[in-house]
């Protein structure tokens, strides 16, 4: 027998609040990159707790227009003060919905004893105990990350005006199943998708109408289709300390771009691949699902290591096009020596580091890998460095800001997919 549990009416219909709108307002909090953390804390993993999430949801409800004036009035007393108990009840209900809908998941709380009794509202509604302890951690699920990518892509696409997303058309023709051009003579290696009418017509024109009809090799005509290419992309994200210096968070917009590209490729270009590489003192590949949790640290910029790892990843991909999208704001200031040690020099452009970096850029060029650099700074010496990279690899360089970064990356990705493959 089904049971229905009731709770006290607070004046706000918590089930009517859009979780999508709530997540959109929480995006900055969920994608934070360490901008608000003190430098001394960078060595520690910045975990998000449910108590932090409660505070963020409360700010969104009170400041981001998710509640109407009437609903806000219902949450205040006669003196105009916020009724904390009613607000806490509302926030807990929203967290319950986020869990039930699969946008977030709870981590294990190792600080509590087995009998402590956690309190999140259960799936049937109502409460099951005391409030969840502050130390309980939560994580975004793949569904939550994908939604943030969808929202980022939607915002970027709307900023571009009218855009038509589709597979990567080129100027070349190939043989395939869907005919979109006149037939061609069959050549060894073509898909044997015969144009029966054209093949029979060729044989009749050669021999005349009669039975039996001899078919020669030269009579075989096959359909042609538009050749559509596939692309392998490595997105290189600079997570050195400078990405949050100078009063600006540059890393969070870069993460938004990664999530938007992921959603675009997954939904519109399923034949493409996207991998993400973080570069700092060294470089490592991270899963797409970890992008939202990536943070900057007290690192230097080892551009050479990032390019080397990206090149090795791309060489393992059997795609028509290979490209690196590098988002950075600083000069190369570190390199990995042959013995594994990290050589660092943050003072100016070190000739030794530059030489090794350019050597790796040249290796990418020899491997037919395009490098598109998106520079979040415009210092004259950085401009010269990026120009040199562009000259070597025959790629493109964009000097942009955090406000326009996503638009530039998205436009560049879409344009390059429609270019002819040589």
Whole-number Å distance between alpha carbons of 56 and 54 = 5
What does each C-alpha distance from 162 to 148, 154, 165, 198, 352 come to in angstroms? 21, 12, 10, 40, 46
| Whole-number pLDDT of residue 246 | 72
Q: What angle in degrees, to the nearest 10, is found between the helix axes of 303-315 and 351-366?
A: 10
For residue 379, the SS3 value is coil
Beta bridge partners of 67: none
Whole-number Å distance between alpha carbons of 351 and 388 = 13
Beta bridge partners of 374: 327, 398
Asked if pLDDT for residue 170 goes beyond 80, the answer is no
Exposure class string for 399-421: b at 16+ Cβ within 10 A, else e = ebebeebbbbbbebbbebbeeee
Candidates 55, 54, 50, 67; CA nearest to 16 is 67
Candidates 100, 104, 5; CA nearest to 57 is 104
Residue 341 confidence class, pLDDT cut points 50, 70, 90: very high
Least-confidence region, from 244-248, 337-341, 384-388, 398-402: 244-248
| Whole-number pLDDT of residue 47 | 63
Least-confidence region, from 88-102, 132-146, 312-326, 334-348: 132-146
Candidates 369, 283, 383; CA nearest to 330 is 383
| Whole-number pLDDT of residue 46 | 55
Asked if pLDDT for residue 174 goes beyond 70, the answer is no
As a whole number of angstroms, the longest Cα–Cα distance in the chain is 101
Residue 158 confidence class, pLDDT cut points 50, 70, 90: low
Please state the φ and ψ torsions of residue 379, each to the nearest 5 degrees: -60, 145
| Whole-number pLDDT of residue 127 | 40
Element (H, E) at 172: strand 169-174
Report the pLDDT averaged over residues 236-241: 91
Asked if the peptide bond before residue 212 counts as cis, ω within 30 degrees of 0, the response is: yes
| Whole-number pLDDT of residue 280 | 93
Q: Is the dihedral of CA 182, 187, 189, 194 positive or negative?
A: positive
- 83-132 per-position pLDDT tens digit: 888 888 888 889 999 999 998 888 755 444 333 344 444 433 434 334 44
Beta bridge partners of 336: 342
For residue 182, the SS3 value is strand
Whole-number Å distance between alpha carbons of 252 and 298 = 16
Q: Is the dihedral of CA 106, 109, 112, 114 positive or negative?
A: positive
Please tell me the total number of residues recorded for the chain in this structure: 422
Element (H, E) at 258: helix 251-268
Q: What are the strands, taking DSSP E only, across 229-377?
A: 231-238, 273-279, 283-286, 321-328, 334-336, 342-344, 370-375
CA angle (30 as vertex; 26, 33 as ends), nearest 5: 130
SS3 content of the chain, % helix, strand, coil (to 5): 40, 15, 45
More confident residue, 69 or 176: 69
0.85 cut: is pTM over it?
Answer: no
Per-chain mean pLDDT for the chain: 77
Asked if pLDDT for residue 40 goes beyond 50, the answer is no
Task: Take residue 1 and report the two structure tokens written for it.
Answer: 């027998």
């Amino acid at each position: 027998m089904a049971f229905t549990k009731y709770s006290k009416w607070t004046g706000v219909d918590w089930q009517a609040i859009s979780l999508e709108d709530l997540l959109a307002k929480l995006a900055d909090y969920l994608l934070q990159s360490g901008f608000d953390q003190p430098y001394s804390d960078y060595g520690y993993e910045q975990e998000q707790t449910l108590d932090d999430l409660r505070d963020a949801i409360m700010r969104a409800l009170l400041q981001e227009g998710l509640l109407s004036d009437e609903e806000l009035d219902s949450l205040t007393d006669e003196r105009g003060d916020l009724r904390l108990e009613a607000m806490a009840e509302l926030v807990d209900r929203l967290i319950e919905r986020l869990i039930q809908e699969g946008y977030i998941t709870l981590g294990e709380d190792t600080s509590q004893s087995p009998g402590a009794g956690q309190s999140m509202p259960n799936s049937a509604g109502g409460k099951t105990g005391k409030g969840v302890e502050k130390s309980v951690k939560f994580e975004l699920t793949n569904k939550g990350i994908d939604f943030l990518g969808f929202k980022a892509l939607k915002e970027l696409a709307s900023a571009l005006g009218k855009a038509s997303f589709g597979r990567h058309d080129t100027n070349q023709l190939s043989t395939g199943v869907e005919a979109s051009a006149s037939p061609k003579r069959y050549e060894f290696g073509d898909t044997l998708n015969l144009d029966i009418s054209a093949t029979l017509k060729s044989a009749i024109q050669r021999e005349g109408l009669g039975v039996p009809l001899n078919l020669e090799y030269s009579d075989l005509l096959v359909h042609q289709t538009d050749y559509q290419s596939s692309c392998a992309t490595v997105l290189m994200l600079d997570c050195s300390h400078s990405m949050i210096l100078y009063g600006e968070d540059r890393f969070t917009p870069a993460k938004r771009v990664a999530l938007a590209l992921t959603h675009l490729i997954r939904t519109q270009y399923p034949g493409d691949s996207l991998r993400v590489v973080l570069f700092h003192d060294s470089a490592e590949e991270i899963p797409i699902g970890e992008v939202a949790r990536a943070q900057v640290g007290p690192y230097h910029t080892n551009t050479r290591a990032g390019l080397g790892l990206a090149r090795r990843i791309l060489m393992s991909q059997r795609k028509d096009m290979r490209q690196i999208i590098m988002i950075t704001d600083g000069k190369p200031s570190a390199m990995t020596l042959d013995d594994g040690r990290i050589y660092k020099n943050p003072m100016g452009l070190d000739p030794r580091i530059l030489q090794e970096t350019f050597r790796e850029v040249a290796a990418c060029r020899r491997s037919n890998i395009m490098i598109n650099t998106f520079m979040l700074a415009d210092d004259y010496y950085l401009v010269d460095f990026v120009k040199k990279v562009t000259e070597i690899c025959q790629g493109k360089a964009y000097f942009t800001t955090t406000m326009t970064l996503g638009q530039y990356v998205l436009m560049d990705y879409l344009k390059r997919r429609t270019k002819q493959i040589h």
